[in-house]
Structure 1
């Protein structure tokens, strides 16, 4: 990427896609350098040069060589916020779908996501930065729920947002470690389980209820036996 092209892509306020590509490209250049040379051994100037940027342009767009590792999260957060700003019939489902959008981004670039995971795991300062970034998503989700769900208790918004984020991050780390089955379909299934646990959402939130009626004088042991036999026959 040339300096002129990079600056144009970064500074075009109407080109959200161009800005996303720019930040992704610079983040990718930084992660590859950190993986090859080590984080401490790589300077911001080297990252800027690898991305085709001047030092001044680099620091106008990214606060530090630490921040550039997570540069695409700024765009993802904006996209998640824009998605939640739309009208949604089911706010709980909307939060889950926003989490899926973020996951899908990394699922689409697994090689880079796995390389970043290795780099971040080696550097305590990057792990701390990752925690801060994760909290920004949680804060967005709980703020949205408090505005979209009438009468919601603040702690319920916190609980649900935190559980969605924890579920998302568990599977994302699995994806970054190359574990099988860590994909968007699995995340969607697990988030459906989260909604059932919280008894919220318009899909998959109803639990099966079995009602059994017995004469008043039926012995308890007979009731237990007959219920057990009935359940065994349905499994």
Structure 2
């Protein structure tokens, strides 16, 4: 889990009370207890400051997915926990950020971009696991990625309304329930088959054009025996 929030709650509170456009960088820097130059060096802009946590979480999700050696379903549940845990460990910041995004249309548009980035991270993980090789598998993996984000966001919105109404175990239950519907695609057996299926054996035998069936069988048998020595 990421231990602390990159976004100062006092700065978010100021954006809410004064308005996003009406609040200057100097005021945000003062609220955060840093200089103007440090603000720009750390965040770059007001909008980037609001989404600084998102950048950290997305990076953490990508690392979790890349480092995993367990099955796809367990890995995706772990990745969903990465996002959920980071929001719920900082209730004040999560509530302030949600309130701010609800009141500023341009920030909601940026939030939508972040949602697509999570979906992309999940899809690229499934693709690396060789689960999106065909056109149909690709479509299913895209759907799985979008569905996973939708379930997480639903739990997060529920938690924002009432922190006792859901938790990481309930999120894991619903994510697994969803992903189990795609067990044929995501299941461990499928991954093992993809990783360990032996390559087909090719045997070449040269015979006269008039060779009968028995001669062909004998030639193939001899070639296989020679190959296996």
Which residue in 2 is equivalent to 1:33? 14
Alpha-carbon distance in structure 2 between the residues aligned to 1:129 and 1:151:
28
Gap runs ≥5 in structure 2: 189-229
Alpha-carbon distance in structure 2 between the residues aligned to 1:90 and 1:194:
15
Among 123, 126, 149, the alignment partner of 2:107 is 126
- Asked whether 1:94 is paired with 2:94, we answer no
Give the paired residue count.
184
CA contact (8 A) 1:84 1:98 kept: yes
Which residue in 1 is equivalent to 2:182? 198
> When the two structures are superposed, what TM-score results if normalisation uses the length of structure 2?
0.73
- Asked whether 1:65 is paired with 2:49, we answer no
Among 129, 138, 148, the alignment partner of 1:164 is 148
Report the CA distance shift for 1:150/1:119 in structure 2 as closer, same or farther (over 3 A). closer
CA drift at 1:40? 2.2
State how 1:7-156 maps to structure 2 within 5 Å: 21=4, 24-150=5-131, 152=133, 153-156=137-140
RMSD over equivalenced CA pairs, Å: 2.2
CA drift at 1:82? 1.3
Secondary structure in structure 2 of the residue aligned to 1:120: helix
Alpha-carbon distance in structure 2 between the residues aligned to 1:107 and 1:151:
32
CA contact (8 A) 1:114 1:178 kept: no
CA offset digits 1:198-234 (Å, max 9, x no partner): 22445xxxxxxxxxxxxxxxxxxxxxxxxxxxxxxxx
Gap runs ≥5 in structure 1: 1-15, 203-235
Larger Rg: 2
Alpha-carbon distance in structure 2 between the residues aligned to 1:162 and 1:151:
15
CA drift at 1:151? 5.2
Report the CA distance shift for 1:160/1:124 in structure 2 as closer, same or farther (over 3 A). same
> When the two structures are superposed, what TM-score results if normalisation uses the length of structure 1?
0.71
CA contact (8 A) 1:96 1:191 kept: yes
With CA pairs under 8 Å and 6+ residues apart, which has the higher RCO, 1 or 2? 2
